[in-house]
Amino acid sequence: MTTPRPLVAGNWKMHGRYSSSEEVNALVQMLRERPAQCDVLICPPFTLLMPFSNLIEGYGLSLGGQDCHHQSEGAHTGDISADMLKDAACSYVIVGHSERRKWHRESDKRVSEKAAMAHKEGLCAIICVGESGKQRDSGETLDVIAGQLKKSMPDDSVAHNTVVAYEPIWAIGTGRTPSVEEIGEVHGLIRKHLTGRFGLDGQSFRILYGGSVKPENAAELMSINNVDGALVGGASLKAADFNGIIEAYR
């Protein structure tokens, strides 16, 4: 069995300006001084991809988009294609984030189509799944996650083109996280699904935890079985905080 190399990914959401280059420069410096035993990724807004691509070259830092369209091109005002992300030096794209599922009504099927398009263009798709607070309270978590995985992951998914991110919706931006046991349970289920569906390769997929990951809780969360890294929102915006999370892999 191959143990996956962990990934710590920052999802900047709708935050950041050109002036945030300072934070990226600071992060590059921190990684240069003290390299980490994990891959590091930032997913800034689309406008910052090109300028950031010049800052990170050669420092083991990767760039990703926060979404892509499920078609390769066409009359889709305001959308961005996987190929355009590739053209802007991205190697990853987040698909199916709960904020996209909620506010843009993205279905599991659509998420799967987006991931398939990302694969076609040579991007690694970070496919997000996660239950709501209500679903957690009514004991539906494992069923919800199993259903999302089944329908949101295209059949061409392999460990090197797909990352699964478990982000309980109620833990996003709230400062609340599931217990170590609860995270271990869901990640165990995800691993079981991956090996059941993709065989031995299922062992090599990275499964990230996301939702209120901070420098203070990163080491504990990252030590849970089948947690192969983090998808970080708020705490990825400042180099010092993000670096504090990466610290879990030094």
Question: Helix or strand or coil: residue 26?
Answer: helix
- Whether 89 contacts 63, CB under 8 Å: yes
Piece of 21-29, 84-92, 167-175, 237-245 that binds ligand 13P (CB under 6 A): 167-175
Residue 41 in contact with ligand 13P, rule: CB under 6 A: no
Q: Find the binding residues for ligand 13P in span 89-148 (CB under 6 A).
A: 97
Q: Which stretch binds ligand 13P (CB under 6 A): 22-30, 116-124, 146-154, 227-235?
A: 227-235
Which of these is catalytic: 167, 185, 187, 193?
Answer: 167
Q: Which of 59, 30, 91, 92 is nearest to 250 (CA)?
A: 30
Q: Return the number of the residue (178 or 234) whose C-beta is nearest ligand 13P.
A: 234
CB of 208 to ligand 13P, least distance (A): 9
Cα–Cα distance measured from residue 207 to residue 225, given in angstroms and rounded to the nearest whole number: 10
CB of 198 or CB of 209, closer to ligand 13P: 209
Write the burial class of residue 172 (CB in 10 Å: 0-12 exposed, 13-18 middle, 19+ buried).
buried
Mark residues 54-93: x for contact with ligand 13P by CB under 6 A, - for none: ----------------------------------------
Closest chain position to ligand 13P (CB): 233
Are the C-beta atoms of residues 211 and 167 closer than 8 Å to each other? yes
- Specify whether the CB–CB gap between 166 and 152 falls below 8 A: no
Q: 183, 213, 221, 239: which one contacts ligand 13P (CB under 6 A)? A: 213
Minimum CB distance to ligand 13P smaller for 172 or for 186: 172
- DSSP-based helix, strand, coil % in the chain, nearest 5: 45, 15, 35
Number of residues forming the site for ligand 13P (CB under 6 A): 14
What is the spatial distance between Cα 94 and Cα 78, in angstroms, rounded to a whole number?
17
Q: Is 104 a catalytic residue?
A: no
Exactly one of 85, 210, 221, 242 binds ligand 13P (CB under 6 A); that residue is 210
| Contacts with 23 (C-beta within 8 Å, 6 or more apart), sequence order | 237, 238, 239
Q: Verify whether residue 69 is a known catalytic residue.
A: no
Q: Does 172 bind ligand 13P (CB under 6 A)?
A: yes
d(CA 207, CA 123): 17
Catalytic residue among 69, 97, 119, 187: 97
Largest CA distance in the chain: 48
Residues that bind ligand 13P (CB under 6 A): 11, 97, 167, 172-173, 210-213, 231-235
Catalytic sites, residue numbers: 97, 167
